[in-house]
Amino acid sequence: MFRILEKGLLAPRVNRYVVHAPQVARSWRAGQFVIVRPREDSERIPLTIADGSAETVTLVVQEVGKTTAVMADMQAGERLADLCGPLGVPAKIEKVGGVAVVGGGVGIAPAYPIAQAHKTFGNHVIAILGARTRELLIMEEEMRRASHETVIVTDDGSRGEKGFVTTALQRLLDLGRTIDEVVAVGPAVMMKMVAALTRDAGIPTRVSLNTIMIDGTGMCGGCRVAVGGRTKFVCVDGPEFDGHQVDFDLMMRRQAMYLDHERGTYEDYLETRRCRLDATREPSRR
C-alpha cells in the first residue's frame, strides 16, 4: 500500500508522485485532498489529488519545509507511511457557461482536475496559469488539454505575458469575454487578489484554501477560517469556499503560525541532507 510507483521533478523543488492507493483512487473527485505522512515519525500534511487512475493517485508537492523535504528525498519503490482520503468536499462543478480556472505556482496541480471536470461538464474553460518565472511553471501541457484556451503569465515575463494572474484576468474581462465563474487555486495572496477583482466585477468565485491541518477529519479545528463571518473547518466544510466571503488576512496569519518554529527543523534537515550528499559524492576518502 502507498508505494510510490513513479516520481519525477516538474520544476526546481516541485515533484510529482504517482502513488498506489486503490481505495482512494476509486472514489476521489476534483477538489479533494489526502493527508500524507511520508514516514513513521512525520507530521501529517494535506496534499491535493492532482490526477488519478484506477489504482493510483497523483500528487504534486512543493518542498517548503521539513515534511515536504523528507518526501522529496523519497524515491520510486518506497512506501509512504500513510495516505488517507479522499478528504474534503469535491469542487462544485455546474453548467455555467464560461469558466476561468486560475492556477498559481503549485496551485496549478490542484486546478488541473477542476479544469478537466468543467470541460467534461460542457463549460468553456479558460485556464490562466501563473508562475514567478518560466522554470517554475508546471503542467502546461496537461492544462492545455484540460481547457479550451490557456493564458500564461510570469512575474518576470520569462514565459507568456509579464504580470500576475490578475493582470490576465482583468484583460479578459476588459475584452468582454464571457466569464460566468472563476476558480482560483494558489497562494493565499493570489486568491485574495483574484477575489478582490471579481468581487468588483460581480463574478462568483470559488477558491481552494490551504490552511494548516492535523487530522483532516474535522476533529481538531486547527484548519478553521472565517467565511462570511462564521467559523468553518477547511477539511470538512471545504477546501473550496466562496472567495468573496473568505477572511484571507486571518487565514494568512494562521498559515504563518509555525513559521519561525518550522524554519529550524527545515534547516537542520537540509544540513543532514547536505552531509548525506557529500558522503555519497566522496566515498571512501578516509
Partner 1 sequence: MTDWRARSPKDRLRLPAQPMPEQRPDARVRNMNEVALGFSADQARAEAARCLQCANPKCVAGCPVGIDIPRFVAAVADGDFASASAVIREKNLLPAVCGRVCPQEDQCQAACAVTKALKSAEDSVSIGRLERFVADWELGHGYVLPEKKPSSGKSVAVVGSGPAGLTVAGDLVRMGHAVTVFEALHRAGGVLIYGIPEFRLPKEIVRREVEYLERLGVEFRYDWVVGKTVRIKELLAEHQAVFLGAGAGLPNFLDVPGESLCGVYSANEYLTRTNLMRAFDFPASDTPLIRSRRVAVIGGGNVAMDSARMALRCGAETVSIVYRRSEKEMPARREEVHHAREEGVLFSLRWAPTRVLGDERGWVAGIEVIRMELGEPDASGRRRPAPIAGSERVLDVDAVIVAIGNQPNPLIAESCPAIRTTKWGGIVVDPNTQRTSMKGVFAGGDVVLGAATVILAMGEGRRAARAIAEYLEQGDWNGAPDPIPDE
Ligand X SMILES: Cc1cc2nc3c(=O)[nH]c(=O)nc-3n(C[C@H](O)[C@H](O)[C@H](O)COP(=O)(O)OP(=O)(O)OC[C@H]3O[C@@H](n4cnc5c(N)ncnc54)[C@H](O)[C@@H]3O)c2cc1C
Write out the residues near partner 1 by the rule CB under 8 A. Answer: 23-24, 27, 35, 37, 41-44, 66-67, 81-87, 214-215, 217-222, 224-226, 231, 236, 249-250, 253-254, 257-258, 261-262, 264-265, 268
Q: Please choose which of ligand FES, partner 1, ligand X, none residue 196 contacts, taking the beta carbon within 5 to 8 angstroms, the exact cut-off set by kind.
A: none
Q: In the beta sheet, which residues pair with residue 45?
A: 36
- Distance, CA of 276 to CA of 105 (rounded, Å): 29
Q: How far is the CB of 108 from ligand X (least distance, A)?
A: 10
Spacing of C-alpha 35 from chain mean position: 13
Binding to ligand X (CB under 6 A): which residues in 218-247?
Answer: 239
3-state secondary structure of 50: strand
- Is the Cβ of residue 135 or residue 268 nearer to partner 1 in the bound state? 268
- Is the Cβ of residue 70 or residue 93 nearer to partner 1 in the bound state? 70
- Cβ atoms of 218 and 101 within 8 Å: the answer is no
Give how many residues touch ligand FES by CB under 6 A.
12
Binding to ligand FES (CB under 6 A): which residues in 202-221?
Answer: 213-216, 218-221
Binding to ligand X (CB under 6 A): which residues in 26-65?
Answer: 33, 43, 45-48, 60-62, 64-65
Report the relative pairing of strands 181-185 and 161-162 from DSSP bridges: unpaired
- Distance, CA of 205 to CA of 100 (rounded, Å): 9
CB-based contacts of 249, cutoff 8 Å, min separation 6: 192
CB-based contacts of 252, cutoff 8 Å, min separation 6: 188, 189, 192
Q: How far is the CB of 9 from ligand X (least distance, A)?
A: 13
Binding mask 223-252 for ligand FES (x = CB under 6 A): x---------x-x-----------------
C-alpha cell at 153: 503569465
- Is the Cβ of residue 97 or residue 218 nearer to ligand FES in the bound state? 218
Where are the strands (E) in the chain, listed by range? 4-11, 14-20, 33-37, 45-52, 56-62, 82-87, 98-104, 124-131, 149-154, 161-162, 181-185, 205-208, 224-227, 230-233, 240-242
Residue whose C-alpha cell is 496549478: 108
Q: Please choose which of partner 1, ligand FES, ligand X, none residue 27 contacts, taking the beta carbon within 5 to 8 angstroms, the exact cut-off set by kind.
A: partner 1
Which residues would be at the binding site for ligand X (CB under 6 A)? Answer: 33, 43, 45-48, 60-62, 64-68, 106, 109-110, 210-213, 239, 255-256, 258-259, 262, 266
Which residues would be at the binding site for ligand FES (CB under 6 A)? Answer: 213-216, 218-223, 233, 235
